[in-house]
Amino acid sequence: MNKRFCIRPMSIMKMFALLYPICPNYFYIAGMPFKEMILFISVILLTIFTKGGILTKRKKAASMFLEIIIWSTIFVMIQLYHNEWMQVFTQVLLWVGIVYFGSSVINTKEKFISIIDTVIIGSMIVGIFGIVEEITHFNIFSLLNTSGAILNYNPIRLGIFRIISFTSHAISYGCYCMIVFALIIYRVMIEKKRFLYIAGALMLVNE
């Protein structure tokens, strides 16, 4: 008996957690930032496969919605200052959607940990590319620079090539590694798995 193919909301969230954090801002397809395309597609798919009714079942979303409003207000002020009207509309609307739908889909501790593991797995890929960049001085993510952006490569310090990976600056990449390393520590405290130690080592080396 053939099993019917079905896209689950949790699979959509995992796709988002894997791709969005490591997608370069300079990667464009058909004149659109691929990062925003990931966000848009994820929100649309979640709306479809949750039948759009999942929002009405969230009784504990008030406090989270307040956090979204605060973040959105700050983001709108920054974007309006730079006169980026389209980003104001798309980013706020889509982020409200992804956070609201995501909080409904990721409703158990097991699912929450699964999402964290997905982010960590993505960081392992980035970490391997980072080592390649350090050794060869070639940034693999630069192949995705379809917008023609000027990548901010930093000068060598103390004989060490400063990795930027998918980010725009070595400091930004360092912040990413620190955030992921914190997630890895959290996961190790819950469950000791080999891939977590490997991921932790990769993040330390990349920092």
Alpha-helical (H) ranges within the chain are: 9-19, 34-49, 62-81, 85-105, 109-136, 170-190, 194-206
Q: What is the pLDDT of residues 116-174, one digit of tens each?
A: 999 999 999 999 999 999 999 899 999 999 988 888 777 777 777 888 999 988 889 99
Separation of CA 130 from chain center: 17
Residue bearing the bigger pLDDT, 79 or 59: 79
Evaluate if residue 203 carries a pLDDT over 90. yes
137: its two tokens: 């001085």
**Torsion, Cα of 135, 141, 147, 151 (10° steps):** -30
Asked if 127 and 203 count as a contact pair (C-beta separation under 8 A), the reply is: yes
* Residue whose pair of structure tokens reads 């998918």 in the numeric block: 166
Q: What is the pLDDT of residues 64-110, one digit of tens each?
A: 566 667 766 776 777 666 656 666 666 666 777 787 778 788 888 89
Residue 160 confidence (pLDDT): 78
For 156, phi then psi, to 5°, come to -65, 135
Asked if 120 and 18 count as a contact pair (C-beta separation under 8 A), the reply is: no
Evaluate if residue 194 carries a pLDDT over 80. yes
Q: What is the pLDDT of residues 27-49, one digit of tens each?
A: 999 888 898 889 889 888 888 88
- Give the closest residue to 13 by CA, choosing from 107, 93, 87: 107
What SS3 state is found at 41?
Answer: helix
Residue 1 confidence (pLDDT): 43
Beta bridge partners of 157: 160
